[in-house]
Amino acid sequence: MDVAALNVLGYEDFVKIFGNVVEKCPSITAVVWSKRPFANLSALEAAFYEFIDALPDSGKEGILRCHPDLAGRDLQSGTLTTESREEQTRAGLNALSSAEASLMAQLNQDYKKRFDFPFVICAKMNDKATILEQLLERVGNDRAEERERGIEEVKKICHLRLQALMLHKL
């Protein structure tokens, strides 16, 4: 890991490497680039969080809506981003029993119907049991709570993706 190397990247290379640390939001990475140089990984993360936190509620919900369902159509059809596929697989979501898969699909559906955005959770910090538990619990929250909760999870995902990229790419 070498923050010095990261600090001299042009925006094109920076976005190529870090463009999906917020799922399908390379424009956020492109904003963060302009905040370089970064003293360390925490400063880089903070730049992502700062931009996200300053967005209006509609912008935060827009980010949530760019996340795929867990164990959803994109996992089945192979159209997940590389990062999401790896995360969902690690959480065992590619190996659900048919009963678990039906339950997950139903709960995802209920959640989206209630909130107009998908259930977002950092899959790498969970497994299928805790994901199902969280889905059942969080669907009872109100929309503002879930917007903030989803964004917290986006930040955890961002943290782990950045960490992995810093370890492997630089």
**Annotation says 159 is catalytic:** no
Q: How far apart are CA 142 and CA 128, in angstroms?
A: 23
| DSSP calls for 34-45 | TTPPPSSHHHHH
Q: Which of residues 91-120 bind a second copy (CB under 8 A)?
A: 112, 116-117
Q: What is the largest CA-CA distance in the chain?
A: 50
Assess 82 for contact with a second copy (CB under 8 A). Answer: no
Nearest to 81 by CA among 13, 11, 161, 153: 161
Q: Which is nearer to a second copy, 82 or 97 (CB)?
A: 82
Assess 58 for contact with a second copy (CB under 8 A). Answer: yes
Least gap, CB of 151 to a second copy (angstroms): 12
Instruction: Report whether 32 contacts 51 (CB < 8 A).
Output: yes
Q: Which residues lie near a second copy (CB under 8 A)?
A: 10-11, 15, 24-31, 33-35, 51, 54, 56, 58-59, 61-66, 112, 116-117
- Residues with catalytic annotation? 67
